[in-house]
Structure 1
């Protein structure tokens, strides 16, 4: 069967199989032939030269009357037409009709050395300049925003970004950010609320935070290429308020603003609610242990719970280093995409991934990872031996994950 073919190819290095689009999933890689890849080409005209990519039209003859009906001819013709349509479903799902691409990155921190370097260059787009083309070509680009963007509030912890960095987010084409993390309240509630207002004014969507618990958990429903996609975000990691001894709230409540906590009951309830209105559901988690390449037991529990509840893709951040990918029957977990824009100095914290997902209304069809390194507080695509080393790292830390 085609399903057996996919299973065999996914565990056999170098194996090649021919299958129809409905069984394609991220465990296998669709080949690029003559510069064309149907998973990443969203326009029908581009797909035409791809081998075996042919749109067929089956026209039934006019009804031949009772005799043909009794012989079953019309019934068989209708069945044949239905099976042909199902087998050639790519012409329906791709070609820009019911398909989209997502580009996701990890932690984005726009304070400290990142801010100083950008100011020195006189350009608040500076951190994004070398990677913006990859993000802008996606239907939607997602990031974890690790610092409030505000000129208000007072310092409770480490980070606050100059509002002029909104120009950089716009330039990079970042459409959606998670605010569910341990630093978004670093300058208190005033800066937190100001951040949400500024993002909204800039046209950037956010998830995982709100003026109360209901809003923090409600997520975001977007129409991407004709596909209704629901986004949710949570944090397992609480803040450490270094510069105050006064107790501070951070998790949203029925009365107070804040972030959505990564609770199993929230996950199940929110994903089930989102599934009622969305074709796909994607969940972001701020979780795990910093500087560790392997996901914790809690990360794996939360990730698997999200998939079992109906999520199609789980995106992780906070460890500040690359963690592995897990491929399940229900979907994919990217445990940590590493840092994207950050000023940490350990070599592993200056590495990350741009994860791209090609999706249609049935789910995530293909993934590809672009390794990046941070140099002079600016991410750039890794090349040559450096790129190969990071991809080997990703392969190694993905082994054994489910």
Structure 2
């Protein structure tokens, strides 16, 4: 059985149709920030993207060349694999109804090519509520498919709580967990990380520890108080960067001492339904520059959220940076971002 409270289940459809803006943007940080001035001489660039699924795409997405160029500047990309990667779904009825996710290995490979993400530069979290949608066999097939594609994974109990990744001269530690399940806890136990207590997790030899949590409630632009409290606890336990998933809409950024918390990046490829109300089609690419200089290794030098939107194009989506939008849609997206962030920058794709 899933672990969603009844109030959550009852609010899912209303919030999907009209994502909530209940919250105060003044509690949070701008969409971009510089933490080191002057900047370090040597940096490593990380990119975090949102949930990845084939639910809204029958063929590979079309990607704005500017997005491909942006991702091409990075040394490592981290995202969430929201759908099991299997060629034939076992949960046939649920898959047809949209309650159970599925994504073929071929689609994932073609989608990554379309957006310009090299497999060797990609890490995908499997710690999410949908990972067992096609059963234990589908979970095993997913792990095997990602291995065949040469994509590293995080959020599996078999990998240990922290996965070290060498990125240029730095050692980045990645950890992931899910607070939500679409199946019984016994199916997740021993396969998927559900542990959000990082106090006892190893971090020796890691320059920067990053967490990729699957948390909070869906279709709410502002995180719940419980989610913010967990972020503070994680920051106190040494996590320097947190990039969250599961809300399926963009959420704000918070700076907790030296820790950057991006509560929700939205979807990178649509995961809710084929036709989704426009606020749920806004996503973020989080770009983080990390110092590799002696004396400040692993310190976050700067961060920036790059907003984009997913537009329908026949049987697939078209990913477009907000700065390339025109007319009414651009105004609508700009208004939504202003409601979530206290002072969004006027350059690099965020309209004033």
| Aligned length, in residue pairs | 285
Q: TM-score, normalised by structure 1?
A: 0.65
CA separation of 1:374 and 1:294: change in aligned 2, threshold 3 A: same
d(CA) in 2 for partners of 1:187 and 1:262? Answer: 23
* Structure 1 match to 2:236: 308
Contact 2:100–2:133 at 8 Å: present in 1 too?
A: yes
- In the other structure, the counterpart of 1:161 is 103
Match of 1:351 among 264, 268, 282: 282
Counterpart of 1:389? 335
> Structure 1 residues 319 and 262 mapped into 2: Cα distance closer, same or farther (>3 Å)?
farther
> Does residue 318 of structure 2 align to residue 378 of structure 1?
yes
Question: 2:223 aligns to what?
Answer: 295
Instruction: Kindly indicate whether residue 194 of structure 2 is the aligned counterpart of residue 261 of structure 1.
Output: yes
| Match of residue 125 from structure 2 | 178
Shift of 1:201: 1.6
Answer whether contact 2:45 2:287 (CA < 8 A) is retained.
Answer: yes
Q: Answer yes or no: is 1:207 the counterpart of 2:151.
A: no
How many angstroms apart in 2 are the aligned matches of 1:233 and 1:217?
10
Q: What's the offset of the Cα at 1:368?
A: 1.1
Query: Against the structure 1 CA distance between its residues 344 and 235, is the aligned structure 2 distance closer, same or farther, given a 3 Å change threshold?
Result: farther
Q: Which residue of 2 aligns with 1:28?
A: 34
Q: Partners of 2:287 and 2:299 in 1: how far apart? A: 14
Mapping of residues 101-250 of structure 1, within 5 Å? 101-111=45-55, 113-115=56-58, 118=59, 124=60, 126-128=61-63, 130=65, 131-152=67-88, 154-155=90-91, 157-171=99-113, 172-173=116-117, 175-209=122-156, 213=157, 215-239=158-182, 249-250=186-187
Stretches of structure 1 that go unaligned for 5 or more consecutive residues are 1-25, 32-37, 40-89, 119-123, 242-246
Q: Which has the higher contact order (CA 8 A, sep 6+)?
A: 2
Maintained 8 Å contact 1:262/1:285: no
Deviation at 1:251, TM superposition (A): 2.0
Deviation at 1:170, TM superposition (A): 4.0
Question: Contact (CA 8 Å) 1:153, 1:189: kept in 2 or not?
Answer: no
Displacement of 1:139 in angstroms is 0.6
1:317 is paired with a residue whose SS is: coil
Question: 2-side partners of 1:391 and 1:358: how far apart?
Answer: 23
Cα shift at 1:30: 7.9
- 5+ residue gaps, structure 2, are 1-31, 292-296, 345-352
User: Secondary structure in 1 aligned to 2:171?
Assistant: strand
CA shift at 1:220, angstroms? Answer: 1.7
Is 1:365 matched with 2:298? no
Cα displacement string for residues 167-213 of structure 1 (whole angstroms, at most 9, x for unaligned residues): 2354231601111101111101111111111112211111002xxx3
Shift of 1:344: 4.8
Higher Rg = 1
Higher helix share: 1
| Contact 2:48–2:287 (8 Å) recurs in 1 | yes
Contact (CA 8 Å) 2:33, 2:304: kept in 1 or not?
A: no
Take 1:249 and 1:352, find their aligned partners in 2: how far apart are those partners?
33
- Larger displacement relative to structure 2 (387-396 or 142-151): 387-396
Distance 1:159 1:331 in 2: 33
1:252 aligns with 2:252: no
